[in-house]
Amino acid sequence: MSIVMTGGGTGGHLTIIKAVKEHLLDVELIYIGSTKGQDQAWFAEDKQFKSVHFLPTQGVVNQGFLGKFKSVFMLIKATIKARKILKESKAKTVFCVGGFSAAPTSFAAITLGIPLVIHEQNAAIGSLNKLLRSRAKAFISSYEEQSPIKAYPIKNEYFEKSRIRENIQTIMFLGGSQGAKAINELALELAATLKEKNIKIIHQAGERNIEEVQKAYSELEIEAEVFGFSTKISDYMQEADFAIARSGASTLWELSAIACPALYIPYPYAAADHQFYNAKFLVDQDVAWIMREKELDVQKVIELLDENMQEKSEKLQGMIEKNGALKIAELLKNL
């Protein structure tokens, strides 16, 4: 008997699978993903999986008529293949994290009567997860009260490094490893004010933007710690008293677990505007701020720098439970 994990296309989905499988070392695991997206880069050589399978699929949303027809045809073929894999592996449970990569295996699980467990990373439910939800054995979301597990699957180090902030002595700009143009530009506009206020700058500018951003700080005669990808993100977040960041689910919950208040600037082209709704979930509970890119106001951001962060930081410490990945792994094993 095996647990089959499926879904992906993007790092946001695949991070969940990676976190959960670390608590399933004593279980036979199978991965089924897509030939498109990031699935193969993440798991093609992962030895924890007994076998990995990448099926030809593509998204249906935002396609023209011919594109939709092709996508559905590929989906049907991939679902037939996924059924065969599930039968041969004697799958006891299928764990779906959403994305077009997950569709064939999820549909195959439903047609075979295999329990389907869905993890939804975002406040705005993805198209596939919305479609499958009524057929799932369990639907996990950190944004919904009725979810069987509220804890988001992030590393415990973020909880261990949590601390209460008061005043801002260090600010962190988080655009992700690919960077965010709007956040980079905002950081440079704020740089002179931050220097006046003696606030240290930590800036994740993106791999492609490091030299350009470093040069801009140098011309302004301002010191800043600039980087692209880093394995020390939790250390940087611990040091920061305030963050300005995109609101992808992992970033949002990592900052929450470490109790760092943030202004979120959602990626404007995210599917179903999910980054906006992720941030809005925290804003509605008065533990964060949000500004859309087109509404960015430097003066309003400067005013936030004088806010006392203590109340929001204290509230954030109670926002998310520990051991999300472990709890999901236990649910999968117990089904």
Domains in the chain: boundaries: 2-152+322-334, 157-317
Judged by phi (left if over 0) then psi (alpha if -120 to 50, else beta), residue 202 lies in beta
CA distances from 296 to 19, 47, 73, 132, 185 (A): 34, 45, 43, 37, 11
pLDDT of res. 61:
60
SS (H, E, C) 93-148: EEEECCCHHHHHHHHHHHHHCCCEEEEECCCCCCHHHHHHHHHCCEEEECCCCCCC
pLDDT of res. 63:
64
Q: Does domain 2-152+322-334 have CATH number 3.40.1280.10?
A: no
Contacts with 299 (C-beta within 8 Å, 6 or more apart), sequence order: none
Closest CA to 30 of 46, 41, 14: 46
Annotated binding site for UDP-N-acetyl-alpha-D-glucosamine: 10-12, 122, 177, 275
Residue 185 is inside which H or E element, if any? helix 181-196
Closest CA to 36 of 8, 75, 5: 8
Listing DSSP states for 240-266 in one string gives: -SEEEE---HHHHHHHHHTT--EEE--
Do residues 228 and 209 make contact, with C-beta atoms less than 8 angstroms apart? yes
Residue 227 is inside which H or E element, if any? strand 225-227
Contacts with 243 (C-beta within 8 Å, 6 or more apart), sequence order: 171, 172, 173, 174, 237, 255, 260, 261, 262, 263
Do residues 179 and 147 make contact, with C-beta atoms less than 8 angstroms apart? no
pLDDT of res. 68:
66
Tokens for 147? Answer: 């979810």
Residue 18 is inside which H or E element, if any? helix 11-21
pLDDT of res. 176:
79
* Superfamily covering domain 157-317: Glycogen Phosphorylase B; (3.40.50.2000)
Q: 11-21 and 324-334 helices cross at what angle (nearest 10)?
A: 70
pLDDT tens for each residue of the chain, 335 residues long: 899 999 987 878 898 999 999 999 999 999 999 998 889 999 999 999 999 999 988 766 666 666 666 777 888 999 999 999 999 999 999 999 998 889 999 999 999 999 999 999 999 998 889 999 999 999 999 999 999 999 999 988 999 999 999 999 999 999 876 778 999 999 999 999 999 999 999 999 988 999 999 999 999 999 999 999 888 999 999 999 999 999 999 999 999 999 999 999 999 998 889 999 999 999 999 999 999 999 999 999 999 999 989 999 999 998 888 999 999 999 999 98
Annotated binding site: 10-12, 122, 177, 275
Q: Do domains 2-152+322-334 and 157-317 have the same CATH topology?
A: yes
